[in-house]
Amino acid sequence: MARRGGFGDFRVIFGRGLAILLPSIVTLWLLWQASMFVFVNVAEPINVGIRALLLETSPRIFGTYEDDETPDWYVVTAEELSDLQVPGRNRLTEAELVREVRKRDLRRLWAEHWYLNLAGLLVAILLIYLAGRVFGNYIGRKLYTRLERLIAKIPGFKQVYPHVKQVVDLIFGDNATMKAFREVVLVQYPREGLWTLGLVTGESFSQVREAAGEPVVSIFVPTSPTPMTGFVINAPKSETVKVDMTIDQALRFVITAGVLTPDNVAPDTSPEAGPGAIKLLRANETAEAALRSRRGNGKGRSAPANGPQTPPPDGDGDRGV
């Protein structure tokens, strides 16, 4: 066996380390980006609202307290008021100056204590949970349906809202996975003899069924390594092969470009699966028989015990498919 040089060893070991660490690094980066998006667009606006609410209610809460009993951000000194007064400009009233000082000190307190920023996130989670409780029952769904109809009539919203709602319901709705993809199938695409993994999304529309003269299903064919992208085909149901594979296993198969395959994958040869399953099973049996025949022919050839083993010209040494 040829020995690699110093650079060759470095390249192999570096690639091995990259393969080990890159999935974790990418996962952490995606989680960090998602958390920052939620914090900036959801938690921080709620934090601003919480601080505004504290400023409005603080006089009622701390108005009757002694100075030593009130928080530091609520106490306003004469020096702080004079710092905000700018000569030559319209002077604010004393009440407005006090509010500005308290607003500045409260924002500074918020920045110094990182855990206060979690208040907005916790409030967002609570509001989402309450919305699910309120609009999840029968009466709530009726009210929300009427509200959706009004929203769908607003110019601008009606062009975007229905499509966004469909995507959200597809992902987060009740039994979202079952709504999106019913089952995993094999279909001969883009030509006969090439079996492509697809996810059945439902029955195709009537014009396709009438043109085919038989039941037709819509199949989403995901692409590797990003299964969120792909294309949709319409295939006769009789030409599809139902596969004993879960949706998660199918997506894992696509993401890894076929590297991870479940051991229990087998074609469904029941009458409901259609003649395509029988064709696939017979093709597999023919291929296995040919392979056994080639191996059997190679057994009759011998080689020196300590010499190099030369594969038969038509045996396992062929490049194959």
Express each pLDDT in 137-156 by its tens digit. 888 888 888 888 888 788 88
Same domain, yes or no: 38 and 97: yes
Same domain, yes or no: 82 and 23: yes
Write out the two tokens for 164: 């966004």
Domain-embedded: residue 49: yes
**Mean pLDDT rounded to a whole number for the chain:** 75
Same domain, yes or no: 159 and 226: no
Q: Are 195 and 188 in contact (CB under 8 A)?
A: yes
Percent of the chain with pLDDT over 70: 69
Domain-embedded: residue 127: no
Domain-embedded: residue 232: yes
Same domain, yes or no: 245 and 258: yes
Q: Are 217 and 183 in contact (CB under 8 A)?
A: no
Domain-embedded: residue 296: no
**Residue 240: predicted pLDDT:** 93
Range of the domain at 103: 17-120
Beta-strand ranges (E) seen in 223-280 are 230-236, 240-242
Domain-embedded: residue 90: yes
Same domain, yes or no: 153 and 224: no
Number of structural domains in the chain:
3
Q: Flag whether pLDDT at 53 surpasses 90.
A: no
**Domain's final residue, options 134, 150, 177:** 177
Give the global pTM: 0.46
Domain-embedded: residue 301: no
**Residue 301: predicted pLDDT:** 41
Same domain, yes or no: 75 and 169: no
Domain-embedded: residue 311: no
Burial of 111 per CB tally in 10 Å (0-12, 13-18, 19+): exposed
The predicted model gives 162-171 an average pLDDT of 70
Q: Flag whether pLDDT at 185 surpasses 90.
A: yes
Same domain, yes or no: 260 and 203: yes
Domain-embedded: residue 100: yes
* Rounded CA separation 208/236 (Å): 9
**Residue 88: predicted pLDDT:** 52
The predicted model gives 31-40 an average pLDDT of 87
**Residue 303: predicted pLDDT:** 39
Tell me the C-alpha to C-alpha distance, in Å, between residue 19 and each of 9, 15, 16, 249, 261. 15, 6, 5, 22, 20
Same domain, yes or no: 157 and 196: no
The predicted model gives 189-215 an average pLDDT of 90
Q: Flag whether pLDDT at 167 surpasses 90.
A: no
93 confidence band (pLDDT: 50, 70, 90): confident
Same domain, yes or no: 262 and 227: yes
